C-alpha cells in the first residue's frame, strides 16, 4: 500500500462512488498549489451518458473552493492495471495543470503508474490555439 497521501485520499473517496451500472468504482484526488486536497468519485446515471468521472468530480470540488491550479493528481480503481484518465478528463485536467504535473494511477491491490499530464495528453488543444492575429 502506497503512503502517498493523495492516493490515500483517492482510495477513501472511491468508497463513495455511485457506479451501479458499470460496477467500476473510481476515486480521484487533486492537490492544488495551496496544498489543499480535493476529491471526487464517479457518479453514474440511468441515462448512461449523464454519468460523471471521478476526476471531473474532484475538479468541480476544487473550483467550488475557488482554486484553479492543480499540482498533483491521483486516480485509483479496482482494475488489473492502473486506470488512466479518459480522454475527456485528460483535457479537463490540462485546463488547470501544467504539463509536468504528476498523475499517479493506481490499482486497489497496490499497482501504480506515474505519468505527467503532457505524457497523457501530448499535443493538447489549448487557449493559444484560439488566439487571433
Ligand atoms: N471512470 C472514471 O471515473 N475515471 C476514469 O479515469 C475512467 C473511467 C468511470 C466512468 C464510469 O463511471 C466508469 O468509470 C466506467 O467507465
Rg (CA), the chain: 14
pLDDT at 119: 98
Instruction: Check if the beta carbon of residue 119 is closer than 8 Å to that of residue 10.
Output: no
Set 15, 55, 67, 114: catalytic member: 55
Which of these, 105, 129, 119, 132, lies nearest to 6 by C-alpha position?
105
Ligand 1 contact, 93 CB (< 6 A)? no
Instruction: Look up residue 116 and give its three cell numbers.
Output: 505527467
Would strands 26-32 and 97-107 be described as parallel, antiparallel, or unpaired? unpaired
DSSP 16-56: T-B-TTT---EEEEEEETTS-EEEEE-B--SSGGG-B-HHH
Closest atom of ligand 1 to CA, residue 25: 14
Going residue by residue through the chain (133 aa), what tens digit of pLDDT does each one get? 567 999 999 999 999 999 999 999 999 999 999 999 999 999 999 999 999 999 999 999 999 999 999 999 999 999 999 999 999 999 999 999 999 999 999 999 999 999 999 999 999 999 889 987 6
Please name the residues in contact with 100: beta carbons below 8 A apart, sequence gap of 6 or more: 116, 117, 118
3-state SS, residue 79: coil
pLDDT at 131: 87
pLDDT at 127: 87
Give residue 130 CA to ligand 1 midpoint distance, Å.
29
pLDDT at 133: 64
pLDDT at 3: 78
pTM above 0.85, yes or no: yes
Amino acid at each position: 500500500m502506497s503512503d502517498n497521501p493523495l492516493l490515500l485520499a483517492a482510495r477513501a473517496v472511491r468508497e463513495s462512488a455511485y457506479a451501479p451500472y458499470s460496477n467500476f468504482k473510481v476515486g480521484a484526488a487533486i492537490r492544488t498549489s495551496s496544498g489543499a486536497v480535493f476529491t471526487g468519485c464517479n457518479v453514474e446515471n440511468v441515462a448512461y451518458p449523464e454519468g460523471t468521472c471521478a476526476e471531473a468530480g474532484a475538479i468541480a470540488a476544487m473550483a467550488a473552493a475557488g482554486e484553479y491550479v492543480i499540482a498533483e493528481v491521483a486516480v485509483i480503481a479496482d482494475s488489473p492495471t492502473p486506470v488512466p484518465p479518459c480522454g475527456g478528463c485528460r483535457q479537463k485536467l490540462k485546463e488547470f495543470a501544467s504539463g509536468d504535473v504528476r498523475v499517479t494511477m493506481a490499482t486497489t491491490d497496490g499497482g501504480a503508474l506515474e505519468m505527467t499530464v503532457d505524457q497523457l495528453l501530448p499535443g493538447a488543444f489549448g487557449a493559444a490555439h484560439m488566439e487571433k492575429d
